[in-house]
Amino acid sequence: MGSRQQLLLLLRKHPGVTVAELARDLAMSGVGVRRHLANLAAEGLVEQSRCAPPGPGRPPAGWRLSASGMELFPRRYDGLALDLLDELPPEELAGALARRNDKQVVQYQAAMASCGDLSEKVAELTRLRDVAGYQAEWAAGDDGALVLTENNCSIHRVAERHPAVCSLELSLLRRVLGPDVEVTRRAHAMAGDAVCAYCIRPRHAD
């Protein structure tokens, strides 16, 4: 296990641990620990514990995992989701998934409200998908279209059991980007491709 992984594990086990304690447990210098922490903080994975300002008799500030850092460790949400979804009759399942999609549309549209042109919207949409665990990225395609690529499916096991989820993912992108934008899926992980990828371009008037 590398130093980065060891550091993350110590923060998981001992939230609020100090630089001195981390340096001792990792057999590293304080400078080395601070460098690792600075890199992890830049990635949004760790944060300083909130405490009173330093002063006589007060303990030094510690470090802990952020909410994003906590997600690096297995949590098995998919098992719970599958258990709940499998209990629903087909019509109730369809309704539940549709309501989830409606909620996501509202959340995404609110986050993208200040975006200007299509590239800004796709950039923000990519960020939202990345935060959701899809390891998303976007780029301009050779044909002038914008390509949103999701290198990870954060709901893979659920989609395997309930393929309708994939249709709703495509519907989500189309609804969020609006009727003036054409979104087509050009690669699909559930169909055997390495990633899910979407081609996004302005919809031309007939």
Tell me: the pLDDT tens digits for 164-190? 888 899 999 999 999 999 999 999 988
| Cβ(14)–Cβ(22) below 8 Å | no
Can you list the residues of the chain whose pLDDT is less than 70?
1, 50-60, 74-77, 205-206
- Determine the pLDDT at residue 53: 47
For 50-61, write each residue's pLDDT tens digit.
Answer: 554 445 555 567
The reported pTM is 0.63
CA dist., res. 129 & res. 173, Å (int): 10
> Using an 8 Å Cβ cutoff, are 143 and 193 in contact?
no
Domains and CATH numbers, the chain: 3-70 (1.10.10.10), 77-202 (3.30.1380)
Amino acid present at 32: G
